[in-house]
Amino acid sequence: MGGASPEWRPGLRSGTARTLRAVHDRILAGWRGAVNFLAHALLSPDDDEIRAGNVCADLIKGRVDGVATPGIVTGIALHRAIDRFADRHLAFRTCMSHVAPPRQRYARVIVDVFFDHCLARSWARYSPVSLGSFVEHVCARMAQQVDIIPIRDRARFARMLESRWLGMYATRVGLDRVFAGLARRARFGHRLTEAAVDLDRHYPAIETSFHALMPPLREHADQVLASLLD
């Protein structure tokens, strides 16, 4: 998330490291993506470029006019419409209240990851294709689009695709890995490493909210896509 931002690396001067962590801290605290990668992939049409834009929109910074293909631009617009709808929905905002006070600063991104977990765990409810087959298909197709997606760190994204990271959200181990990765990019990362504890404590309520959100969100995504392609 926020992959175009600078990363802290061992060996940097402490002041520089603190500055870069502060940048990531602001990015995570202000995260607007109310649905994460897996949901965006599901809510995309079977069009390689639109799906690439929808899934990767949060990794793309700056203007894309004249840089990205029309299909990717359409996917980015779809992504942003999905985020706006989900972020304002009562179900999402209710789940934010289940995040423990020490982690409230990152409540949006935490619930974002929780909802992808709920989607992965109840995948058959939303897709006739198995999760494994879907992840394999999407990652393989997106790997062929890497060179035309206007993201800065294409090598890193290619590694994400190779690892089939979309399937990571299905397990608790995968969630811990996701939050550990986010924690490395925030000043108060230790608060993110245990974020999955909030899911454990409030799982029934979070799962119920997720299922309340998905049908209207899917309908909205279909309507937006139709208007974008009109």
pLDDT digits (tens, 9 = 90+) for 147-176: 888 887 788 788 888 888 889 899 989 888
Determine, yes or no, domain membership for 137. Answer: yes
Determine, yes or no, domain membership for 128. Answer: yes
Q: HSE on the CB side for 44, CA within 13 Å? A: 30
3-state secondary structure of 36: coil
Q: What does the alpha-carbon distance between residue 128 and residue 63 come to, in Å, rounded to a whole number? A: 36
Q: Any residues with CB less than 8 A from the CB of 15 and at least 6 apart, and which?
A: none
What is the average pLDDT value for the chain, to the nearest integer?
82
pLDDT tens-digit profile of 55-76?
988 888 777 766 788 999 999 9
> Helix, strand, coil % (nearest 5) of the chain?
70, 0, 30
Determine, yes or no, domain membership for 160. Answer: yes
Determine, yes or no, domain membership for 197. Answer: yes
Determine, yes or no, domain membership for 15. Answer: no
Determine, yes or no, domain membership for 23. Answer: no
Q: What does the alpha-carbon distance between residue 79 and residue 214 come to, in Å, rounded to a whole number? A: 15
Determine, yes or no, domain membership for 25. Answer: no
Domain that holds residue 119: 32-229
Q: What does the alpha-carbon distance between residue 175 and residue 168 come to, in Å, rounded to a whole number? A: 7
Q: Which of 109, 94, 104, 119 is nearest to 34 (CA)?
A: 109
Q: What does the alpha-carbon distance between residue 24 and residue 183 come to, in Å, rounded to a whole number? A: 10
Q: Any residues with CB less than 8 A from the CB of 44 and at least 6 apart, and which?
A: 50, 51, 54, 55, 75, 78
pLDDT the model gives residue 225? 97
Distances (CA, A) of 202 to 34, 197, 220: 18, 9, 27
Q: What does the alpha-carbon distance between residue 33 and residue 190 come to, in Å, rounded to a whole number? A: 22
pLDDT tens-digit profile of 25-58?
443 443 444 458 999 999 999 999 999 999 988 8
Query: Number of folded domains in the chain?
Result: 1
Percentage of the chain surpassing pLDDT 90?
52
pTM of the model as a whole: 0.82
Distances (CA, A) of 19 to 26, 58, 179: 11, 22, 21
Determine, yes or no, domain membership for 3. Answer: no
Sole residue written with tokens 């879907």: 134
pLDDT tens-digit profile of 178-209?
888 888 876 656 778 889 999 999 999 999 99
